[in-house]
Amino acid sequence: MTSPASPVIDASTSRAEVELVLEPGRADKNYWIDLWRYRELFLILAWRDIAVRYKQTVIGILWAVLRPLLTMVVLAVVFGRVAKLPSDGDAPYPLLVFAAMLPWTLFATSLTDASNSLIGSANLISKVYFPRLIVPTATIVSAFADFLISLAILAAMMVYYRFAPRWHIALLPLFTLLALLASLGPGLWITALNVKYRDFRYVIPFVAQFGLYVSPVGFSSGVIPEHWRLLYSLNPMVGVIDGFRWCILGGNSPINWSGFALSLGVVAFFLWLGIGHFRRMERTFADLI
Amino acid sequence: MSDIVIKAENLGKSYTIGHQAERGRYLALRDVAMQNARELWHKTKDLLRGRPIVLGATQEEIWALKDVSFEIHRGEAVGIIGRNGAGKSTLLKVLGRITEPTAGRVTIKGRVASLLEVGTGFHPELTGRENIYLNGAIFGMTRSEIRRKFEEIVAFAEVERFLDTPVKRFSSGMYVRLAFAVAAHLEPEILVVDEVLAVGDAQFQKKCLGKMGAVSQEGRTVLFVSHNMAAVQQLCQQGMVLSAGALSYCGAIGDSIRNYMQDVKATVVGTELANRKDRKGSQWLKFTRVAICDGLGNELRQVMSGENLSIRLYYQARGEMRKASVNVAFNVRSSSGYLLLNLNSADSGQPLLDIFEHGYFQCDWLRFNLRSGVYDCTLFCSVNGEIADWMQSAFILNVEDGDYYRTGKLVDRAQGDVLVPCSWASQPGAK
């Protein structure tokens, strides 16, 4: 297979070694190595998604600022002012909402993009070989770019509210990774299903909209009665959002650790399901798409 | 033995397709409801078993490739030829790892780059420069590799001035040139090419052929699929003929082409079509047979240019209609793959035709004007704007040169495929 990783100089030496056997049902032993070899394709596809997203928009990158900011304002007004829900500790309500908007937008955008990614690259998939896992994972990078912009907005908000972060913020990258993994699992699963059954493309916008209200984005998960907390944590985003608030708002938002562990388990389960299903379906993508 | 780069053993690839059950003329709501319930049940069963859903009451397995075995040596340029639907593209897809075989095995030594369509992955919003990097990466090149060849690619494509223009503003010629240029600068050990030369102007096609010839001279292996026999003959030394999914001949390219033409001629006049499965459309009207007749209605084995022909397209329909809005058409492709003509009833002034349960459409082709050769024809019929039947390579025209101009003379065959009635005169006139 075309291996961009091996430089041209050693092409002559590696030539004899590369032997590929194609057989029905043969799980490719070199799959993960191949994935690594194609890392440049991953980067370029991610870059393409980002470049294309803003090419024909008038205010370009500003969209990435406006969208979360306006959603935050609406949620803060509805839940904080109108419904008068309590904040965590003495954290300002808009900050509480925005700290949850960060992982939620990351999750929703990457889930939506990843789910549609295979169908969107149908022409690639039916014409060229490369590890298909690259397509949905690359779309997640562009969602991550939006996330970084939102992070800058958060910093600005914290300055505005004179809210200093504590040591907890150092763990934010870990929770970011968790948010990415939480979206990757279902994303892979649904994009693979989407190739076969196009019904699933109607499911995702619904999940993204519905989830915004089911997950503790506009309100603190502290308002959920204690005996429902564990059940509530079956929603993997509950753990992620609580984690984000804990990092950003410092000690104001305590984490329900048993619930968090449960969310972690659900994330792991979906990741296992997603990758497993994707790998099994992958071989038939070109025939079905 | 170490020189074998591709070895296929009993390779097979099957697809499952579904057929709609024959429905009666009158449909009761109850029947429809039952049918839908049954389909839903089948779908659910398939879903639970993790099998692809196949619509239709009956299912059929179609072998696009069956029991194909061959060996290809290093540095060979192999032409793969065969009629449409013979399995050429499927073979390339299997070799290019795009789809997995259903049976048998292939052993491949070396990196494969498959060029099934130029411009794969081009993004219209991105500039020429950006697309070169994107496309290169899709074919497995690294950024440093692309950077090294960038100048060469741009020069080959002749698009220097438009590098920073989004490719959606490119002319189709520029687009194809750029796409081919990227692909041509890949350095795989095995290059798989499908019909890319059908695009671009003649000069650029020549350049592409030259480039591919150079690739095989460098000791790399080229697999080339095309309907353009001249190009295949020029580029390849070896040939493989596929026929209905099986390998029917394998050998030197000249013999392969002769074998292919024989294969095409074997299915000559009076072509039975009723049992062909490779067709599209609602099948409300279905072609069953094609007969090529002279002006008196006698069936012909071979036609001669200059004769009056009647081409009868027999069909069966699921109902009768008077003055229906029908378009019957066939197009004619030369053996080198060029689309020459399309003859259809709507454009030629008969938009309304009667349909019988059994009958034939007759196309009178006066003073038949194609030169000697074998021409491949695709049949098409739409009823009330809906495609009823559509079949690639439905029948062939086996033509001998005749005395078209009634002068006993005809220019050398290499001067073109089509004859046109004309007259000449000489007049005095202005400078």
Q: Which tens digits make up the pLDDT trace of A245-279?
A: 888 888 777 777 888 888 899 999 999 999 988 98
**Where a domain ends, among B223, B246, B265?**
B265
Short-list B376, B358, B374, B371, CA closest to B403: B371
Residues B257 and B384 in one domain: no
Given a cut of 60, whether residue A27 has pLDDT beyond it is no
Cα angle B257-B263-B267, degrees, rounded to a multiple of 5: 145
pLDDT reported for residue B383: 92
Alpha-carbon B177 to chain mean position = 21
Q: How far is B405 from B421, CA to CA, in rounded Å?
A: 8
B26, part of any domain:
yes
A192 to A115, A282, B395: CA distances (angstroms): 8, 7, 40
pLDDT tier at A6, thresholds 50, 70, 90: very low
pLDDT tier at B311, thresholds 50, 70, 90: very high
Write the CATH number for B254: 3.40.50.300
Query: Which token pair is A31?
Result: 């799959």
B68, part of any domain:
no
> What does pLDDT average to over chain A?
83
Kindly tell me the sign of the dihedral angle through the C-alpha atoms of A51, A56, A62, A65: negative
The helix/strand/coil state of B333 is: strand
Average pLDDT over residues A63-83: 86
A79 to A45, A72, A98, A213, A216: CA distances (angstroms): 39, 10, 13, 11, 11
Alpha-carbon distance B196 to nearest alpha carbon in chain A (angstroms): 13
B197, part of any domain:
yes
Residues B106 and B203 in one domain: yes
**Where a domain ends, among B248, B265, B282?**
B265
> In this structure, what are the phi and psi dihedrals at residue B218, rounded to the nearest 5 degrees?
-75, 5
Residues B359 and B297 in one domain: yes
Given a cut of 60, whether residue A73 has pLDDT beyond it is yes
Average pLDDT over residues A145-174: 89
pLDDT in tens, B94-138: 888 888 888 888 888 887 877 766 667 788 888 889 889 988 888
Contact B52 A4 (CB under 8 A): no
Q: Which residues of B touch A284 (CB under 8 A)?
A: 52, 99-100
Average pLDDT over residues A127-153: 89
Given a cut of 80, whether residue B44 has pLDDT beyond it is no
Q: Which residues of B touch A2 (CB under 8 A)?
A: 111-113, 139-141, 186, 188
pLDDT tier at A11, thresholds 50, 70, 90: very low
> What does pLDDT average to over chain B?
82
Given a cut of 60, whether residue A42 has pLDDT beyond it is yes
Q: How far is B196 from B209, CA to CA, in rounded Å?
A: 10
Q: Inter-axis angle of helices B172-184 and B128-138, to 10 degrees?
A: 40
pLDDT reported for residue B48: 64
Q: b/e map of B185-220 (b: 16 or more CB within 10 Å)? A: bbbbbbbbbbbbbebbeeebbebbbeebeebbeeeb
Given a cut of 80, whether residue B46 has pLDDT beyond it is no
Residues near B351 by Cβ (< 8 Å), separated by ≥ 6?
B325, B326, B327, B345
pLDDT in tens, B11-41: 898 887 655 544 444 556 666 677 777 777 7
Contact B94 A22 (CB under 8 A): yes
* Structural domains in chain B (count): 3
Q: Inter-axis angle of helices B128-138 and B143-157, to 10 degrees?
A: 120
Query: Which token pair is B41?
Result: 């049940």
Residues B80 and B172 in one domain: yes
% of chain B beyond a pLDDT of 70: 86
Contact B111 A2 (CB under 8 A): yes
pLDDT reported for residue B27: 54
pLDDT in tens, B196-221: 555 556 677 777 777 777 877 888 88
Alpha-carbon A77 to chain mean position = 27
Give the DSSP H or E segment for B209: helix B202-217
Residues B352 and B408 in one domain: yes
Residues B105 and B223 in one domain: yes
pLDDT reported for residue B270: 56
pLDDT in tens, B359-382: 999 999 999 999 888 888 999 999
Residues near B358 by Cβ (< 8 Å), separated by ≥ 6?
B314, B315, B316, B317
Containing structural domain, residue B165: 73-265
The helix/strand/coil state of B403 is: coil
Q: In 10 A of CB A236, how many CB atoms?
A: 27
Contact B142 A55 (CB under 8 A): no
Q: Which residues of A touch B194 (CB under 8 A)?
A: none
Task: Output the DSSP codes for A149-197.
Answer: HHHHHHHHHHHHTT----GGGGGHHHHHHHHHHHHHHHHHHHHHHHHH-
Residues B47 and B185 in one domain: no
Q: How far is A184 from A144, CA to CA, in rounded Å?
A: 12
Q: How far is B123 from B141, CA to CA, in rounded Å?
A: 17
Q: b/e map of B223-258 (b: 16 or more CB within 10 Å)? A: bbbbbbbebbebbbebbbbbbbbbbbbbeebeebbe
Q: Which residues of B touch A22 (CB under 8 A)?
A: 94-95, 97, 100-101, 105-108
B141, part of any domain:
yes
pTM above the 0.80 mark?
A: no
Q: How far is B336 from B230, CA to CA, in rounded Å?
A: 7
Residues B235 and B332 in one domain: no
Residues B123 and B258 in one domain: yes
**Where a domain ends, among B235, B265, B295?**
B265
Name the residue with higher pLDDT: A24 or A52.
A52
pLDDT reported for residue A7: 35
pLDDT in tens, B260-295: 777 665 555 456 788 887 888 899 999 999 988 887
Write the CATH number for B279: 2.70.50.60
Residues B304 and B214 in one domain: no
Which phi-psi region, left, alpha or beta, contains residue B119 (left: φ > 0; alpha: ψ -120 to 50)? left
Alpha-carbon B297 to chain mean position = 32
End-to-end CA distance of chain B: 72
Of A26, A52, A124, the CB nearest to B120: A124
Q: Which residue has the tokens 């793969």?
A: B80
Cα angle A45-A48-A52, degrees, rounded to a multiple of 5: 150
% of chain B beyond a pLDDT of 90: 18
pLDDT reported for residue B249: 87
How many residues are given for chain B?
431
Query: Which token pair is A165?
Result: 């972060």
B346 to A281, B305, B330, B351, B380: CA distances (angstroms): 45, 25, 12, 4, 12
Of A20, A48, A125, the CB nearest to B126: A48
Alpha-carbon distance B145 to nearest alpha carbon in chain A (angstroms): 8
Average pLDDT over residues A182-203: 86
Given a cut of 90, whether residue B343 has pLDDT beyond it is yes
Short-list A266, A251, A258, A242, CA closest to A103: A242
B306, part of any domain:
yes
Residues B41 and B170 in one domain: no
B17, part of any domain:
yes
Contact A23 B139 (CB under 8 A): no
Residues B339 and B197 in one domain: no
> In this structure, what are the phi and psi dihedrals at residue B367, rounded to the nearest 5 degrees?
45, 70
B199, part of any domain:
yes
Whether the Cβ atoms of residue B187 and residue A8 lie closer than 8 Å to each other: yes
Range with the poorest average pLDDT among A59-63, B167-171, B338-342, B393-397: A59-63
Q: How far is A88 from A221, CA to CA, in rounded Å?
A: 9
Q: How far is B245 from B305, CA to CA, in rounded Å?
A: 34
Q: Which residue has the tokens 């070169």?
A: B132
Q: b/e map of A162-188 (b: 16 or more CB within 10 Å)? A: ebeeeebeeebeebbebbbbbbbbbbb
